[in-house]
């Protein structure tokens, strides 16, 4: 039976399609990390601003406001880091389990993995014979890394680190939280609340813009949501502080 020769350009095309998909996936992961950092900073801005403005509504004591703000930063940053560590630990465990399963599959039934890759290439538009040949070529150098990356979206050299995620989350929250703390401690007593309001709303506008651009969403809507929500949070907590400060 005569078989048609498959042009090498077609197999290269299959590899390029797979490579482009892997690169897009890697970029998506980086954007997710960046978005998480922006959201962590945003949490720090709003939560610590609410605390210090609330305390400032109840008392003009510089030391009381500073103590409350520092405590809010430390507690909030630790809480964020702990939550991120637990969450990413679960993801890391899943990725390690996936690596172990794929390694066993390649040992016990490598043809099955090759067929799965060929099926993936067929879904991307290659002819069955071309897809099978492309699968064989792409797995020739490092079958485990290739199958993990293309079939499961896992980079064997870039498994998520819980510690890195926790440290990044801690730092993002603390950096964001430093804005309202400095804004309320540096000005004179009579300007503390207005300056903090202005600094916080400006910071929220910046983080909203960055978050929207990362997610390719409408900037104005994202900024409006954050600014209105932040202003409401500050107004409510300041009112509560004034109420309790007056009663005490």
Report, as an integer, the average pLDDT of 85-101.
85
Tell me, what's the pLDDT at 15? Answer: 47
Rounded Cα distance between 54 and 238, Å, is 4
Query: CA–CA separation, 187 vs 193, rounded Å?
Result: 9
Half-sphere exposure of 152 (CA within 13 A, CB side): 20
Which of 86-90, 113-117, 233-237 reaches the highest mean pLDDT?
Answer: 233-237
Distance CA 39, CA 80 (A): 11
When pLDDT is averaged across residues 224-245 and rounded to a whole number, the result is: 89
**135 Cβ neighbours under 8 A, 6+ residues apart:** 14, 114, 115, 117, 118, 120, 121
pLDDT at 31: 61
Main-chain dihedrals φ then ψ at residue 157, nearest 5 degrees: -95, 5
pLDDT the model gives residue 204: 92
Give the best-scoring range by mean pLDDT among 80-84, 178-182, 207-211, 215-219.
178-182
Nearest residue to 34 (alpha-carbon basis) of 22, 42, 45, 44 = 42
Number of H helices, E strands in the chain: 8, 0
Question: Is the per-residue pLDDT at 19 higher than 70?
Answer: no
Q: Is the pLDDT of residue 9 over 60?
A: no
Grade residue 246 by pLDDT with cuts at 50, 70 and 90: low
Name the burial class of residue 80, with classes exposed (0-12), middle (13-18) and buried (19+) by CB atoms within 10 angstroms of its CB. buried
Q: How far is CA 76 from CA 38, 86, 177, 238, 244, in A?
A: 15, 15, 9, 19, 23
126: three-class secondary structure by DSSP: coil
Better pLDDT: 170 or 5? 170
Total-model pTM: 0.71
């Amino acid at each position: 039976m005569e078989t048609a020769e498959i042009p090498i350009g077609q197999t290269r095309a299959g590899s390029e399609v797979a490579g482009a998909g892997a690169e897009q996936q890697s970029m998506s992961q980086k954007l997710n990390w960046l978005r998480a950092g922006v959201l962590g900073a945003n949490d720090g801005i709003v939560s610590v601003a609410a605390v210090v403005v609330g305390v400032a509504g109840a008392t003009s004591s510089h030391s009381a406001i500073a103590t409350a703000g520092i405590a809010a930063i430390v507690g909030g940053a630790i809480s964020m880091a702990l939550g991120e560590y637990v969450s990413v630990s679960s993801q890391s465990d899943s990725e390690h389990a996936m690596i172990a399963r794929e390694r066993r599959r390649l040992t016990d039934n490598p043809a099955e993995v090759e067929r799965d890759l060929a099926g993936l290439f067929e879904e991307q538009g290659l002819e069955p014979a071309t897809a099978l040949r492309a699968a064989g070529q792409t797995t020739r150098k490092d079958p485990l890394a290739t199958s993990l990356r293309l079939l499961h979206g896992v980079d064997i050299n870039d498994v998520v680190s819980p510690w890195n995620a926790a440290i990044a989350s801690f730092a993002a929250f603390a950096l964001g939280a430093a804005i309202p703390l400095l804004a309320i401690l540096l000005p004179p007593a009579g300007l503390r609340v207005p300056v903090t309001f202005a600094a916080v709303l400006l910071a929220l506008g910046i983080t909203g813009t960055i978050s929207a651009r990362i997610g390719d969403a409408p900037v104005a809507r994202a900024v409006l949501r954050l600014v209105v929500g932040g202003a409401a949070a500050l107004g409510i907590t300041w009112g509560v502080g004034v109420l309790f400060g007056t009663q005490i």
